Structure 1
Amino acid sequence: MKNIITLSFILISVSLSYGQETYRAADKVFEKMQYLDAAKMYESKLSKGDYSKELLEKAGDAHYFNTDMAKANKWYDILISDYLNEVDAEYIFRYAHTLQGIGENNAAKKWMKIFAKRAKQNDKRIEDHSEGDVVLENVLSIKPQFRLQNLSINTRNSDFGPMYYKNKLVYSSALDSSYYHERIYNWNNQPYLSFYLGRINAVETDVKFIEEFSENINTKYHEATLAFSPDNQKVYFTRNNYIDELGRDDDGVNHLKLYSAELSVDTLSRTKRKEWRNIKELPFNSENYSVGHPTVSKDGKKLYFVSDMPGTIGATDIFVVDILEDDTYSTPKNLGSKVNTSGREMFPYITNNSLYFASDGHIGLGGLDVFESALTSETFQKPTNLGAPLNSQLDDFSFIIKEKENIGFVCSNREGGKGDDDIYSFERFKAITPVKVEDCQQFVKGYVSNSKTGERIPDATVTLYNEKDVKLSQTQSRINGDYAFNFDLGCSKKHYIKVEKNGYNPNQKIFVTSSISSETIVPLDIETIDELIVEDNGLLKIKIGIIYFDLDKFFIRDDSASELNKIVVLMTKYPKMVINIESHTDSRSKDDYNLELSNNRAQATKNYIISKGISANRINNATGFGETQLINKCSNGVSCTEAQHQLNRRSEFIILKI
């Protein structure tokens, strides 16, 4: 889940050593929750060979907090391999979560056990994860109880936090500017979140956009997740700590707060339309911690919410207060260790019978899973995972339900959605007992490699199908090219695997599972769509001869022009290709001069390509880096030959889109 309402809680729970001088610029970006930009900056350091423990942690975290489990796994995998005895137990837990997120449940169980041995004894998660095999197998074997359908209101951005309002649905969305003004926040370059109103269709399987929920409640920053009193005359909602500008604590963190508003007639309006007014902060808000994600009991006497306030067991916990007379409230009470864990408990929804909530601290399938805690004599029972397909390998949350009708809504950033977080309608039905198949377990694994060079290929999408073309599972190849499916195929069965990656020709391979061993090994190979395209440190680049520049010059030489013409031909062949141009100098001359010179060289290169008929908008950026990214030892003060210095006077062409 990549929305700021969730992750502003997470940030507070991170207690890492983000302060070394080497990474200070990237750390500042991370602390502002601009995770995509921070990840690029950390990975730039990694590409230069800095595989320190601290940098691997940072790179993994930047993707983990942006819920990109495949990329987080890539860096955590190296971290755990190189620094297992040095890392904090929390990183073993995160690593195991990313393994679940890419479908490697067997490996996840192993690492959850190791986490249980390494974690502090007061960590609630130990109880669940010390017997990871048994508990996770129980979750995986839960019989399906839900049928999901993606809603038409979902956009390319984040849509989540649904709540019933009369016969309609209020939800939060980073709706784009085709409807309303757009203010972009730097987390993932999406508009700010606001509340919108939708009409639920007759069978409650879809929702149609109506209008903005309330101009009085929506501001230019974030509003998300809300709950109504039983008579729908009062609303509780989550908002950034905001008055005229975003408020921040001493560490620069903008926390969340809970607010209430009352429905009253607009006496100044000719239509006498009711509007939400009298907006108030709730008294247990703070400048130093976050409070949000409200839900109100059906009798209107209790308000449940999420916070990381003092007394929290984990990263975020669920609390409750009594709603008293005269708009007052009791002291917040933690729901305790039966519900809350050392991880995150979020997005509660209370009914007369149960508390539903999302958690990554209880055993799940990966990311946040939805759990149900039955309410018996005012006591919450041990939570149960609601299983697949409601839960997935990624984040599943914001569950609401009409229990009598067994219908409701849930949110997820699972694959196959329309954008970031999507809202799904669901029908809950009686679990169906699956037909028993032959007792023969068979799993498939292998690796992805370049068909010409033999080089292992990471981050390729590997999809498993049966012989009837039904998609069974999907995963990403790891940093060493390995892949594996935790999906029992049965023995002597015909299947096929498709492998795809941007910049490569897709390929597929048919295989028949073994009838002898428990595993079938299926190597996969792919090749780039053109021999000029290569992969370098996870980036696709156009590999041509070095674009040479004379010392202190930035004009295009004849020998360089012949190489640049290859790029023109390639971009003409692939008309959707978009590139970045990066230009570099050697270390001679002053740093500022070299930076300006390299910028001039990048622009000259760009202008040459454009002059040959390539549209300017297909060159996303042309940037000079001066002497900041030397490819050899020839830094300031080091004696080198002219040929060695020449190697640093280069241009690189990075493919962003094909």
Structure 2
Amino acid sequence: MSHVKKIQLTLWACLLGTVLSFAQKRSSPGDVFFFQYEYQKAVDAYEKQLSKGVLTKQQFLNLADAYFETENFEKASKTYMEIFGKDSLMDAHHYNKMLRSLSQNSNTDGTNGFLAKVSSSFPKELMENMEFNKQLLENGSQENQLEYDIFNLNGNSPQTDFAPSFYDDKLLFSSGRQVNKKLRYEPGNEGYFHIYESNIQPTGLVASVQLFKSLKDTDYHEATPFYSSKLNSIFYVLSNTENGGLAFDSNGKNALAIAKQAIGGSYQLLLKDLSTSFYYPFYDDASGKLYFSADFEDSYGGTDIYYVYTNNGQVMSAPINLGPRINSPGNEIAPYIFENSLYFASDVFYGLGGMDIYKSNIEDDGFGVPINLGEPINTEFDDFGMIIRNEGDGLLGYFASNRKGGKGKDDIYGFKVDEKPGLKTITFKGAVVNQSGSSQTVANVEVSLWDMNGAMLAKTISDESGEYRLEIPYESELVLDASKERYSRYIKKFVQDELDALQNTTFDIPVSLYDDLVEEREGQKVVKLNDFYFKTGSTQLNDDIKEELTKVVDFVKAFPDAQLRIETYTDSRGGSSTNFKLTQARSDAIKKYLVESGVPATTILYSIGYGEDKILNNCTNGVFCLETLHKKNQRSLIVVLNDNVLFD
């Protein structure tokens, strides 16, 4: 049986409950087998129909899915591709299956080609997640990988065992081992799931496995427990029932609800929908949020992770999707929070195969890039449902897997490790802000991170709101670079203390638009300054002049390739020769101040005094003018000589 089929039977198909074949008339035997999760029988029936040319478009898609579930990835990819070329039946979830089928065939060119065709339909967060994990897995992270002591639990059975959960010094888990021989769940060919308890030994192994009897009694599914120490309650999923029997929706489906059972106290049904199943509840004692998995209409693919706000476990809001940073076109299940990190499982196409376990750092306004934990936690098979806690000098954890060498369909594995699983990362996020205008944000700015050897580590483009986000494996030093045509380039080196201080905070990147800093005056482009004046006959720079010249310093820092000419003029009063000398001295004084303030001397090609040669009005020699009119001729301009070629 395929690892994909196993996980669907144990977590989606099995937990979805029984689909009554008589509740809804199917158009063919293939449909009956398909909706009862008998995928190989569905393949045989659909292929027989196909040979007669009577498959509908939806049945042809069902056949592709059946190939996928039976691990016939070559036929699955061919069938999906044929559907993709003809119709729009395929959605993001099917794209994920298509990409996984191609990767299982080691068809790298086909995977990349198909991905290029459909990537525009994926959120940018998914593509960022993919690139990050692709680099991580391809380049190898062995030097950063932890030493795990992984062991198969002695309490596993030949049936399905999964969903471990801490319960003080005990371990709870779900199992398909048969309790009542009269009640069997046909798709899994085993008993309905029930919750068991066992004692955790110092070695991490378990003892005294027995049925957990603190829950409301039921003959049907009860699984994926989570114990909240704050509420002293168990959250778990169970089959929808009515009058002691299974309850079905109009399509003949029995779904799973989420319940809360106080230890020794009351029982509450929290989330129920006859047509929608809820999986893997996790209650966060710190925030009061109840996390779970479900396949709602707003999902990004298959099963997504959601949360609801609660008041001591009582649901107080509608479900909220964790968004495209966490949820993918695949299936996401089994959320678990440990030390400000979210652990969960996903079968997104860029993983190692089947379900993989990921870790995402929790941020103030969302989540970091989910990082594949890599081997040996993840394998080409299904690995899911991780829990972890501090134990002695290290950590103790458990997860489920159908990897080779187990005792049953899915087994629970324990592990011990010295440090928290998951690669340490650095996150830069915030907005690119135009500091030369009204502090509006700037879209389409290229933002990149570089190591100290000049290698690019990551790159992104700020979105329409000017927001950007980059996450990379931890570095002690790096350089941030941001650039856009006609904007100033921002480059800054960060050292370890600065990088550590930035985590879980935002960093806005200041840039300036060239056109905000210059203007047209007297037929040439000049740095935009307020008018300033020297005292009569003086070459000394007062505070007002220095304040304006600071803008020139900032302009040169923003656009270091600019070439400048300083021009100073005066009015017609006084002798012509004296005025030339006075304005030249003033231009030289301005240049001296700018150079002392950090402007390279090579940037200022000329500093010229024009005296009274360029009078802007009628206030020439011998003409009476008001002081305000004379002042119009007293001016200094900082001309940008290479304005026309600066951005070529």
Residues 280-312 of structure 1 deviation map (CA, whole Å, 9 limit, x = unaligned): 211x43233222211122436221111223543
1:278 has 2:266 as partner: yes
- Determine if contact 2:222/2:236 at 8 Å carries over to the other structure: yes
Paired residues for 1:177-216 under 5 Å:
181=181, 183-204=183-204, 206-214=205-213, 216=215
Q: Residues 324 and 250 of structure 1: is their aligned pair in 2 closer, same or farther, counting only changes over 3 Å?
A: same
Name the structure 1 match of 2:546: none
Matched, 1:344 2:331: yes
Distance 1:431 1:374, change over 3 A: closer
Q: Which among 3, 26, 29 is matched to residue 25 of structure 1?
A: 29
Aligned counterpart for 1:7 among listed residues 9, 12, 15: 12
What's 1:121 paired with? 121
Q: Identify the residue that residue 101 of structure 2 maps to in structure 1.
A: 98
Number of residue pairs the alignment of both structures matches: 400
Q: Does 1:304 align with 2:291?
A: yes
1:500-539 to 2 correspondences below 5 Å: none
- Displacement of 1:196 after TM fit? 0.7
Amino acid across the alignment from 1:61: D
Q: State which of 372, 383, 395 in structure 2 corresponds to 1:396.
A: 383
Q: Structure 1: how far apart are the matches of 2:67 and 2:152?
A: 25
- Structure 1 residue 123: deviation in Å? 4.5
d(CA) in 2 for partners of 1:121, 1:137: 22
* Counterpart residue identity of residue 245, structure 1: G
Partner residue in 1 for 2:340 = 353
Give the C-alpha shift of residue 361 in structure 1. 2.9
SS of equivalent to 1:149: strand
Q: CA deviation at 1:384?
A: 0.8
> Out of 418, 421, 434, which is 2:407 matched to?
418
Alpha-carbon contact 2:237-2:279 (below 8 Å) kept: yes
| Corresponding residue SS for 2:30 | helix
Cα shift at 1:339: 1.4
Q: Which structure: larger Rg? A: 2
Amino acid at match of 1:170: L
SS in 1 for 2:253: coil
Distance 2:119 2:413 in 1: 36
Once residues 240 and 30 of structure 1 are traced to their aligned partners in structure 2, the CA distance between those partners, rounded to angstroms, is 21
Contact 1:195 1:218 in 2 (8 A): no
Residue 241 of structure 2 corresponds to which residue in structure 1? Answer: 242
Larger mean Cα displacement after TM superposition, 407-416 or 165-174 = 407-416
Q: Does 1:174 align with 2:176?
A: yes
Counterpart of 1:159 (choices 158, 161, 170) is 161
Work out the CA distance in 1 between the residues paired with 2:34 and 2:182: 23
Measured in 1, the distance between the counterparts of 2:406 and 2:53 equals 36
Shift of 1:385: 0.9
1:332 pairs with 2:319? yes
Distance 2:319 2:59 in 1: 39
Deviations 1:310-369 (A, max 9, x none): 543332221122221594533332222221223211110112321100112373111211
Q: 1:371 Cα deviation (Å)?
A: 0.6
| Superposed displacement of residue 154, structure 1 | 1.7
1:233/1:263 contact within 8 Å kept: yes
| Cα distance in 2, alignment partners of residues 11 and 114 from structure 1 | 31
- Paired with 1:198 and 1:247, the residues of 2 have a C-alpha distance of 31
Instruction: Report the secondary structure of 2:62's partner residue.
Output: helix
CA change 1:380–1:299 in 2 (3 A) is same
Query: Any unmatched runs of 5+ in structure 2?
Result: 1-5, 18-23, 422-648
Could you list the per-position Cα deviations for residues 87-146 of structure 1 after superposition, in whole angstroms to 9, with x for gaps in the alignment? 63654531331354x5x5x52574155134225625567625885xx7435224232433
Alpha carbons of structure 1 residues 359 and 202: separation in structure 2 relative to 1, 3 Å: same
Question: Is the Cα–Cα contact under 8 Å of residues 15 and 255 in structure 2 kept in the other structure?
Answer: no
**DSSP-derived class of the 1:406 partner:** strand
Flag the 1:55–1:376 CA change in 2: closer, same or farther, 3 A: closer
* Deviation of 1:199 (Å): 1.8
Structure 2 counterpart SS, 1:323: strand
Counting only pairs closer than 5 Å after superposition, residues 256-271 of structure 1 correspond to structure 2 as 256-264=256-264
TM-score w.r.t. structure 1 length?
0.54
Matched with 2:583 is none
Structure 1 residue 315 corresponds to structure 2 residue 320: no
Q: Which residue in the other structure is 1:508 paired with? A: none
Shift of 1:247: 2.0
Q: For the structure 1 residues 162 and 10, does the alpha-carbon distance in structure 2 shift closer, same or farther, using more than 3 Å as the test?
A: closer
Find the aligned partners of 1:373 and 1:126 in 2 and give their Cα distance.
Answer: 13
* Matched ranges for 1:439-518 at <5 A: none
Instruction: Measure, in 1, the Cα distance between the counterparts of 2:203 and 2:249.
Output: 46
Map of 1:138 onto structure 2: 136
1:93 aligned partner, one-letter code: N
Letter of the 1:201 partner, please give it.
Q
Query: Any idea what SS the aligned residue of 1:411 has?
Result: strand
**C-alpha distance after superposition, 1:377-432 (max 9, x if no partner):** 46422211111121111211101011563220111112222221111111235699
CA distance in 2, matches of 1:226, 1:77: 36
Letter of the structure 2 residue corresponding to residue 259 of structure 1: A
Using the TM superposition, give the Cα deviation of residue 214 of structure 1 relative to its aligned residue in structure 2, in angstroms: 1.6
| TM-fit CA distance, 1:175 | 0.7
Give SS of 2:266's match: strand
C-alpha displacement of 1:261: 0.9
Partner of 2:361: 374
Which of 214-223 and 228-237 deviates more?
214-223
> What's the offset of the Cα at 1:78?
4.0
Is the contact between residue 10 and residue 160 of structure 2 (CA under 8 Å) also seen in structure 1? no
Contact 1:56 1:76 survives alignment (8 Å): no
User: Match of 2:236, as an amino acid?
Assistant: F
Letter in 2 for 1:237: Y
Q: Structure 1 stretches of 5 or more lacking a match? A: 13-18, 265-276, 433-658
